[in-house]
Amino acid sequence: MTRSVIGWVQAAPLALVLAGFLVAPIVMIVIVSFWGATEFSIYPAFQFDNYAFLFGSEVVWRVIGATFKYAAITWALTLVIGFTVAYYLAFHIRSQTVQIALFLVCTIPFWTSNIIRMISWIPFLGRNGIANSALIDWGVIDAPLEWLLYSDFSVILAFVHLYTLFMVVPIFNTMMRIDRSLIEAARDGGASGLQILRHVIIPLTKPGIMIGTIFVVTLVMGDFVTVRFMSGSQRANVGRLISNDIGLLQYPSAAATAVVLLATVLIVIGILLRFVNIRKEL
């Protein structure tokens, strides 16, 4: 009895913050999604207009499609890059000091500003940017490529740049906990390097891959800044629909879109969580 009380007291601050700034806002959004709006204000109501408009609009469906497209492509790229980097760090670096140092090199950008990391692509990708100048100097192209900046390409490039870290860290964490004798056993059994990778390392790394996937997919699906900034406002995802509505003070419509986005993300996470027990894997 007293034990349980101590537990509650210790957990109370977390519970209070989450109740006030997570649960209450979600409830509020769900409520407001049924409200109506005039040009200047919003008024309480119980109507399905916002949802009807949302699902009736072809543009919205296309934007939802684009959101999944960004998530899928970014996921595939961050997985391949993140896995390779984590594999190199975990299995090819022999000194622990070097390993920690290189791991920190990979994680430090995570603690710096995302917006500035996006801005820093401009001199690379612009019409007269480094990429175009270099390609022209090398004679690969004659005229500057227009699709480098403000396109799907630059959006996905920025996503990969910002979020590969979220793959590297959990995958590396899981790999470090793989019992090395399993790999020796496989080698003694005559497995080639590739077979060890496929039949030993990858299956044992799955929980890490799942956690990385959860991070990358939710970050990309919920994003609105990267798409806006890197596409020069020429591309849209669901997050941008919401932020556009907010800009126009159409809060009920923004709330309805937000509910759809949240439901989508939670369904995806729900499916992914069936494959991994997060608490055990930390």
Which listed residue (130, 141, 185, 202) binds another protein by CB under 8 A? 130
Binding flag, residue 24, another protein (CB under 8 A): yes
Q: Which stretch binds another protein (CB under 8 A): 137-145, 178-186, 199-207, 224-232?
A: 224-232
Number of residues that bind another protein (CB under 8 A): 84
Binding flag, residue 191, another protein (CB under 8 A): no
Q: Which stretch binds another protein (CB under 8 A): 49-57, 140-148, 199-207, 252-260?
A: 252-260
3-state secondary structure of 22: helix
> Looking only at residues 147 through 186 of this chain, which bind another protein when binding is defined by CB under 8 A?
161, 164
The DSSP string of 31-92 is HHTT-EE-SS-EE-----HHHHHHHH-HHHHHHHHHHHHHHHHHHHHHHHHHHHHHHIIIII
Binding flag, residue 251, another protein (CB under 8 A): yes
Binding flag, residue 192, another protein (CB under 8 A): no
> Looking only at residues 43 through 82 of this chain, which bind another protein when binding is defined by CB under 8 A?
81
Q: Which stretch binds another protein (CB under 8 A): 24-32, 47-55, 58-66, 135-143?
A: 24-32
User: Alpha helices of the chain — where are they, by DSSP H?
Assistant: 2-18, 24-32, 49-56, 58-87, 96-107, 114-119, 122-125, 130-137, 152-176, 180-188, 193-196, 202-222, 225-230, 238-247, 251-273, 278-281
Kindly state the smallest distance separating residue 123's Cβ from another protein, in Å: 4
Q: How far is CA 13 from CA 10, 16, 19, 20, 169, in A?
A: 7, 5, 10, 11, 28
| Residue 280 to residue 230: CA distance in whole angstroms | 37
User: What letter would DSSP give residue 202?
Assistant: H
Which listed residue (8, 48, 53, 61) binds another protein by CB under 8 A? 8
Count CB-CB contacts under 10 A for residue 25. Answer: 11
Kindly state the smallest distance separating residue 203's Cβ from another protein, in Å: 20
Binding flag, residue 94, another protein (CB under 8 A): yes
Nearer to another protein, 182 or 278 (CB): 278
Q: Is 150 left (phi over 0), alpha (psi -120 to 50) or beta?
A: left
Which listed residue (79, 136, 178, 218) binds another protein by CB under 8 A? 218
Kindly state the smallest distance separating residue 10's Cβ from another protein, in Å: 4
| Residue 173 to residue 93: CA distance in whole angstroms | 14
Kindly state the smallest distance separating residue 57's Cβ from another protein, in Å: 19
| Residue 99 to residue 211: CA distance in whole angstroms | 22
Q: Which stretch binds another protein (CB under 8 A): 10-18, 46-54, 56-64, 202-210?
A: 10-18
